[in-house]
């Protein structure tokens, strides 16, 4: 592993504070989202603009109009097109997209349309890839439409469980597209994953719950449904957790 090039560390974040925490911890790039409980949706214009204005590292913005599946209506696709333009106008480094057909294949025409609209920004195809019916077919389709990278857990609940497929994808992709492992990666398992698959980039979420600023707390009212996150705590990326991953990478490579 000592001859391998430095690994790019991308952190999944959902606030300006977490973007800056990822930067302090040593990440080179963030995937900026909202609603991480739903797997990430497009953040607000204010969050995008302020993150890009304040951060010195690269900011990639997820373009996902809602939670749920990745088969989008014409109206939802138009929303995605507008959000790509917004990310460009704000100065984002890249966008993160994912559109599938009903049969579990890549929606090539609309994926290519978003990629073309995003250029010259970098384009990542997110874990919608893990919902495709044939990963190798999907790999070739994404190479064909010109995506820069694929974020994948190897079609399992974590990258460690999907490691065999990730390794195969890295080998098949070669230098045609970047395969970026993500899902359940931390400082304890990152080198096992990278040593096996040889990926050049890795996607990590390093947050924990912290207490909010409210002193008065009404225990009777809630802002969500029955399955809800804690009302008076906030999920924030922790620089020390990011630094632990970064130090593990820097020590091993």
Instruction: Say yes or no to pLDDT of 48 above 90.
Output: yes
DSSP conformation letters of 117-153: HHTTSEEEE-GGGGG-S-HHHHHHHHHHHT-SEEEE-
234, 235, 183, 241: which is closest to 24 by C-alpha? 241
**Which of 51-65, 203-217, 221-235 is the least confident region?**
221-235
Arithmetic mean of pLDDT, 67-73: 95
Question: Which one has a higher pLDDT value, 33 or 221?
Answer: 33
Q: What are phi and psi of 35, to 5 degrees?
A: 55, 60
Report the alpha-carbon distance of residue 194 to residue 170 in Å, rounded.
Answer: 11
pLDDT at residue 227, as a whole number: 57
Q: What is the mean pLDDT of the chain?
A: 92
Token code pair at residue 128: 């919608």
Domain 8-252 belongs in CATH node 3.20.20.380: yes
pLDDT at residue 56, as a whole number: 97
Report the alpha-carbon distance of residue 226 to residue 12 in Å, rounded.
Answer: 26
Neighbour tally for 25: CB within 10 Å: 22
Arithmetic mean of pLDDT, 108-131: 98
Q: What is the CA radius of gyration of the chain?
A: 18
Query: Which residue reads 């492992």 in tokens?
Result: 181
Residue 1 banded pLDDT, cuts 50, 70, 90: very low
User: What is this structure's pTM?
Assistant: 0.89
**DSSP category for residue 25:** H
């Amino acid at each position: 592993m000592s001859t391998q090039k430095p690994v790019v560390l991308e952190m999944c974040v959902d606030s300006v504070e977490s973007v800056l925490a990822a930067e302090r911890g040593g990440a080179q790039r963030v995937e900026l989202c909202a609603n991480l409980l739903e797997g990430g949706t497009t953040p607000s214009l204010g969050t995008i603009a302020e993150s890009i204005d304040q951060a010195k590292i690269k900011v990639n913005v997820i373009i996902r109009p809602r939670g749920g599946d990745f088969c989008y209506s014409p109206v939802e696709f138009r929303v995605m097109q507008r959000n790509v333009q917004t990310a460009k106008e704000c100065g984002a480094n890249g966008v993160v997209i994912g559109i599938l057909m009903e049969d579990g294949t890549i929606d090539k025409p609309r994926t290519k349309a978003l990629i073309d609209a995003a250029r010259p920004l970098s384009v990542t195809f997110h874990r919608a890839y893990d919902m495709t019916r044939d990963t190798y077919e999907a790999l070739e389709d994404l190479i064909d439409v010109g995506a820069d990278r694929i974020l994948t857990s190897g079609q399992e609940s974590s990258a460690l469980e999907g490691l065999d497929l990730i390794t195969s994808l890295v080998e098949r992709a070669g230098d045609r597209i970047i395969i970026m492992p993500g899902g359940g990666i931390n400082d304890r398992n990152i080198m096992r994953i990278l040593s096996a698959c040889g990926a050049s980039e890795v996607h990590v979420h390093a947050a924990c719950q912290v207490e909010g600023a409210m002193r008065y707390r009404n225990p009777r009212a809630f802002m969500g449904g029955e399955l809800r996150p804690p009302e008076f705590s906030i999920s924030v990326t922790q620089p020390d957790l990011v630094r632990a991953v970064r130090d593990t990478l820097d020590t091993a490579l």
